[in-house]
């Protein structure tokens, strides 16, 4: 049994919003345990000792036209990440959002070492697109943190340990709304519109 100081956590983020979530999770974990951090991240995770395998901006690709010419590079990065994870042999793999990349990595890793523990944060939108995807990811996602309470019902039946953690954006908005109501002395509800 490893001591907490010898624990290893592997984290993968593919964009800034994912890194914000990862930073919050890692910061909370550091209050309870010491561990070495590995994986893919940016400057915020570097503060926790992460030496990123490569810049997560390499995964920020949008649209079919942009993706197609980069497929060979993406496949290379997937295989590079899988090899690195298997070499590190972490106690926990945490992936945040970026399902196209993260799920391919987890699937390959689990096919080689099924005992590795995985946690994915931000559920794929299976209720709107490909409901069968929930069953598919159950083969390589052990634990799932979802941002909305209604999401749990789509994953629990497939044996994925699913926990609602709330949306960080909504937490920020709630704080700002309370502050705004106090400043403006509003007693009624505030309606916000978020286009896009």
DSSP 13-77: E-SHHHHHHHHHHHHHHHTT--EEEEEE--HHHHTTT---SS-GGGG---SHHHHGGGHHHHHHH
- For the cut 90, the answer to whether the pLDDT of residue 141 exceeds it is yes
- Report, as an integer, the average pLDDT of 11-22: 92
Residue 107 has pLDDT above 80, yes or no: yes
Work out the pLDDT band at 35, boundaries 50, 70, 90.
very high
Q: Tell me which of 191 and 73 has the higher pLDDT.
A: 73
Please give the pLDDT value at position 67: 72
Sign of the Cα torsion 121, 76, 60, 99 reads negative
pLDDT digits (tens, 9 = 90+) for 144-193: 999 888 888 889 999 999 998 876 644 544 444 444 444 444 555 656 66
- Phi, psi of 110, deg, nearest 5: -65, -30
Q: What pLDDT was estimated at residue 188? A: 59
In this predicted structure, what is the pLDDT of residue 126?
Answer: 66
């Amino acid at each position: 049994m490893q001591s907490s100081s010898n624990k290893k956590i592997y984290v993968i983020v593919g964009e800034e919003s994912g890194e914000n979530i990862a930073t919050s999770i890692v910061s909370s974990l550091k209050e309870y345990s010491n561990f070495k951090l590995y994986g893919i991240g940016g400057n915020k995770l570097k503060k926790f000792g992460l030496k990123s395998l490569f810049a997560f901006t390499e995964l920020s690709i949008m649209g079919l036209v942009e993706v197609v010419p980069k497929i060979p590079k993406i496949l290379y990065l997937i295989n590079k990440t899988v090899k690195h994870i298997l070499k590190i042999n972490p106690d926990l793999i945490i992936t945040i959002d970026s399902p196209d990349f993260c799920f391919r990595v987890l699937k390959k890793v689990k096919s080689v070492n099924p005992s590795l523990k995985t946690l994915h944060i931000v559920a794929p939108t299976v209720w709107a697109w490909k409901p069968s995807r929930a069953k598919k990811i159950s083969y390589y996602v052990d634990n799932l943190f979802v941002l909305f309470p209604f999401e749990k019902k789509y994953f629990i039946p497939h044996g994925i340990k699913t926990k609602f953690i709330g949306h960080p954006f909504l937490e920020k908005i709630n704080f700002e709304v309370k502050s705004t109501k106090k400043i403006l002395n509003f007693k009624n509800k505030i309606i916000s519109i978020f286009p896009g």
